[in-house]
């Protein structure tokens, strides 16, 4: 049974919306910082979100090097070409072209995308951050391989802009 508000309505959708708003605000805040924080506490009413990161110089267990997840495709002339638009990484992390391993990619070359359409995911600190197209256009090139590490604002997908 879900908790209820004083008026008898279900409180769960309110909590879900609040958590989503806190998550979005936190990601925007983290993206604007010059370097990762060591700790973060966000409080919105009765809701508190706390996170801690290892500090530089903290003891870390060394594991053997892992096999590369994906080979990054080279960035092409898409960045300097005014006839092409580039969708960029919203944060530092790992770029994924599909919602889960083995699934169909969000977009492939030749697909037409609309502003706001999800075209990929960047995983950052175990959060899956959607990558959305910010322009209407045709996908001309996927610039980063699936599973490739990416930096903030790094080009991910090249579009040929379309009117409308």
Residue ranges of the domains in the chain? Answer: 1-62, 77-161
**Percent of the chain predicted with pLDDT > 70:** 61
Q: How confident is the model at residue 21 (pLDDT cuts 50, 70, 90)?
A: confident
| Helix, strand, coil percentages, rounded to 5, for the chain | 15, 30, 55
Q: What is the mean pLDDT of residues 124-150?
A: 93
Beta bridge partners of 41: 50
Q: Indicate if the pLDDT at residue 73 is higher than 70.
A: no
pLDDT > 90? residue 126: no
Which pLDDT value is given to residue 122? 94
Torsion of CA 65, 68, 73, 75, to 10 degrees: -20
Burial class from Cβ neighbours inside 10 Å (0-12, 13-18, 19+) for residue 150 reads: buried
**The pLDDT of residue 72:** 41
Q: Using only C-alpha atoms, what is the Rg of the chain?
A: 19
Q: Which fold has domain 77-161?
A: OB fold (Dihydrolipoamide Acetyltransferase, E2P) (2.40.50)
């Amino acid at each position: 049974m879900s908790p209820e508000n004083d008026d008898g309505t279900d409180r769960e959708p309110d909590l879900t919306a609040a958590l989503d708003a806190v998550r979005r605000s936190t990601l925007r805040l983290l993206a604007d910082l010059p370097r990762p924080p060591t700790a973060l506490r966000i409080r919105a009413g009765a809701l508190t979100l706390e996170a801690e990161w290892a500090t530089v110089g903290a003891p870390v267990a060394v594991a053997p090097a892992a096999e590369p997840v994906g080979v990054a495709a080279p960035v092409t002339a898409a960045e300097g070409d005014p006839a092409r638009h580039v969708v960029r990484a919203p944060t530092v992390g790992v770029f994924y072209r599909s919602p889960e391993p083995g699934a169909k990619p969000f977009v492939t070359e030749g697909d037409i995308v609309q502003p706001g359409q999800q075209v990929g995911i960047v995983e950052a600190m175990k959060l899956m951050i959607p990558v959305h197209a910010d322009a209407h256009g045709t996908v001309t090139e996927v610039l980063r391989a699936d599973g490739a590490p990416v930096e903030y604002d790094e080009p991910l997908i090249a579009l040929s802009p379309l009117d409308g």
